[in-house]
A and B are shown apart, each in its own frame.
Chain A
Amino acid sequence: MEARTHIRVEDLSVWYGGHPALKDVTLSIPDKKITAIIGPSGCGKTTLLKSFNRLIDLQEGVRMEGRILVDDEDITAPGADLTRLRKKMGLLFQRPQVLPMSIFENVAYGLRIHGENDRLRLGEKVEHYLRMAGLWAEVRDRLAAPAAKLSIGQQQRLCLARGLAVEPEVILGDEPTSALDPHSAERIEQRFLELKRDYTIVLVTHILRQARRLADYAAFVYMGELVEHGPAAELFAHPKDPRTEAYISGRFIESTGEDPD
């Protein structure tokens, strides 16, 4: 792995009201690759992802230890500029979260927030990013319609366009296809493959086949612990840890005889 490191996690631990969610995670996310974070539900994948843009700060009673460096800048330092960080990190949620406004305004939202008010440029950019998300052809005639009227798969592509419009460097996906039908999911996956030329992508998923299809690099998280990470092909073919091996072959992890606690 000679790729430049884009996000570096150092000894990260996170607690929710005293309950540990992540323990001593150290991980490097390479630049312009797709990194898949895999693991069973509730293992801390989403927590890890949401600490990259400090969205976990919204949780009541959250405590963080350790450091996260994005472009060698410590984003966990007090006084870190969170709006700038979050602009840099586009996040796709598990369920598409469209804002209560029109299709056009959803994409324009982020642009306006960051100071773009020129109608002409807004129009051009909205079209550009809707094309990039593969949604333009379907919505070009009804940009003024409420975004909530779109199908769930279209909504997720709209969210992708909205995220891309603020010109992030990293795309974070929190199981972004889990609420979608297979066809819509495939379209999102194809977008990701195209986007990794220009973006660093971190994808949380519990769909192993998706991780295999997309990931260059994979990390397996279990019970708040980073069990194993490495190039995806290697991790899937020759897992080193028995827990990883059990998980990717679809067995109960407990049956490996190792007590994860």
Chain B
Amino acid sequence: MDIRQIKDAIARRSMGLVALGVMSAAFLVGFGLYWRARPVLAGRRWTEILFSAAWHPARGEFGLGGFILGSFWVTAIAMVIAVPLSLLTALYLSEYASRRTREWSRPVVDVLAGISPVVYGVWGMLVVVPLVRDYAMPFLSSRLKFFPFASDNFTGFSALAGGVVLAVMVVPIMVSVMEEILRTVPPEIREASLALGATRWQTTKKAVLKKAWPGVVAAIILGFSRASGETMAVLMVAGCALQAVPKSIFDPAYPLPALIANTYGEMMSVPLYDAAILLAALVLFLLTVLFNAVGWGILLRLEKREG
């Protein structure tokens, strides 16, 4: 065996090993969290932990339900804002904008995606929270006295503030993925539609989006996944007071990642407290896995139907 083939064999094995190591990190994280969370699971049912909102560590009650719903609540608000913004921006850039506009918009979007979460958090505290407190909340909550607007939280630190900050954070990621996906739609599809006398908008809506739909769904799931795991910015603006069930976009919300970041390492004298926080981390991990699995499921089915 000559030296080239030996090198080749070494390269293959070592890279395979590295790849395996990276992949197994996912399993190790899951297993490690489970191992450390076992004490709190002993003697309690999963359902009790997942669906109960009773969080009284001193009394040994560790219901994560309120935090899980808080996560969903803030993420849902973020997605309601971010999905239309991202989709319309991506559609403009890929279908209408000239090449020059696209060329300078791309780095701008990348910069937005690269800004540190703390910066978004500060911006949220300085701009979004006061806006919610002084305008959105008094305006909407006094007029629309029903779900999801009625609230008595006048601080501005709210699920809405968290959602807005999260939306601004995930928009660049989704824009960039969606634009990428729209650009994979063959130009011939646009030509075929335009040649029939369709307008740009008809072509975009009925032909391009139809083709790009699975990818757009994937981009939304990616954004959702990112938003639900984001910690710092939400922690800073969402108020972080526990709600059993979210009742208003103006109430504070306490998502899982914020709980973990806020409390881990503190109050360790409380029995089972650290195990409960690691359980929260495990739940967050499993939720991420679940979102991704559901996302891929949708994607694969759409692709299959497309033929």
**Interface residues, chain A, CB within 8 Å of chain B?**
53, 55, 58, 60, 83-91, 93, 95, 97-101, 109-110, 112-114, 146, 148-149, 159, 162-163, 166
Of chain B, the residue at the smallest CB distance from A98 is B192
Known: A60-B99, A113-B202, A148-B307. A97 touches B196 (CB 8 A): no
Residues of A within 8 A of B194 (CB): 55, 58, 86
CA of A98 to CA of B191 in the docked complex: distance in angstroms?
A: 11
CB distance from B305 to the nearest CB of A (A): 8
Of chain A, the residue at the smallest CB distance from B199 is A83
- Give the 10 A-B residue pairs with the shortest CB-CB distance, closest first: A87-B197, A97-B192, A110-B196, A91-B195, A86-B197, A100-B211, A146-B307, A97-B188, A83-B197, A113-B198
Of chain B, the residue at the smallest CB distance from A54 is B194
Residues of A within 8 A of B44 (CB): none
Of chain A, the residue at the smallest CB distance from B202 is A113
B197 and A84 form a contact (CB under 8 A):
yes
B192 and A86 form a contact (CB under 8 A):
no
Known: A83-B198, A83-B199, A99-B207. A109 touches B191 (CB 8 A): no
B192 and A99 form a contact (CB under 8 A):
yes
B193 at the interface (CB under 8 A from A): yes
Residues of A within 8 A of B199 (CB): 83
CB distance from A49 to the nearest CB of B (A): 11
A58 and B198 form a contact (CB under 8 A):
no
Mark contacts of B11-47 with chain A using CB atoms, 8 A cut-off: 1 yes-contact digit, 0 otherwise: 0000000000000000000000000000000000000
Residues of A within 8 A of B106 (CB): none
CA of A162 to CA of B196 in the docked complex: distance in angstroms?
A: 8
Residues of B within 8 A of A159 (CB): 192
Q: Which of B82-118 contact A (CB under 8 A)?
A: 99
CA of A87 to CA of B190 in the docked complex: distance in angstroms?
A: 15
Residues of A within 8 A of B193 (CB): 99, 109, 113
Mark contacts of B200-235 with chain A using CB atoms, 8 A cut-off: 1 yes-contact digit, 0 otherwise: 001000110011000000000000000000000000
CA of A112 to CA of B307 in the docked complex: distance in angstroms?
A: 24
CB distance from A184 to the nearest CB of B (A): 19
Residues of A within 8 A of B270 (CB): none
19 A-B pairs within 8 Å (CB atoms) are namely A84-B197, A86-B196, A87-B197, A89-B195, A90-B196, A91-B195, A93-B191, A95-B188, A97-B186, A99-B193, A100-B189, A100-B306, A101-B210, A109-B196, A109-B207, A110-B197, A114-B197, A146-B306, A159-B192
CB distance from A57 to the nearest CB of B (A): 9
CA of A99 to CA of B210 in the docked complex: distance in angstroms?
A: 9
Residues of A within 8 A of B99 (CB): 60
Among B188, B197, B206, B210, chain A packs the most CB atoms within 10 A around the CB of: B197
B206 and A109 form a contact (CB under 8 A):
yes
Given contacts A88-B197, A100-B189, 10 further A-B contacts (CB under 8 A): A53-B195, A90-B195, A93-B188, A93-B191, A97-B189, A99-B192, A113-B196, A162-B196, A163-B196, A166-B197
Of chain B, the residue at the smallest CB distance from A86 is B197
A87 and B210 form a contact (CB under 8 A):
no
CA of A98 to CA of B210 in the docked complex: distance in angstroms?
A: 12
A166 and B188 form a contact (CB under 8 A):
no
Residues of A within 8 A of B210 (CB): 99-101
Of chain B, the residue at the smallest CB distance from A60 is B99
Among B195, B197, B198, chain A packs the most CB atoms within 10 A around the CB of: B195
CB distance from B10 to the nearest CB of A (A): 45
CB distance from A210 to the nearest CB of B (A): 22
Residues of B within 8 A of A148 (CB): 306-307
Residues of A within 8 A of B196 (CB): 86-87, 90, 109-110, 113, 162-163, 166
CA of A97 to CA of B190 in the docked complex: distance in angstroms?
A: 10
Of chain B, the residue at the smallest CB distance from A146 is B307
CA of A100 to CA of B214 in the docked complex: distance in angstroms?
A: 12
Residues of B within 8 A of A114 (CB): 197
Residues of B within 8 A of A60 (CB): 99
CB distance from B304 to the nearest CB of A (A): 11
B189 and A99 form a contact (CB under 8 A):
yes
Residues of B within 8 A of A93 (CB): 188, 191-192
CB distance from B118 to the nearest CB of A (A): 41
CA of A114 to CA of B206 in the docked complex: distance in angstroms?
A: 13
Known: A99-B207, A101-B210. A86 touches B306 (CB 8 A): no
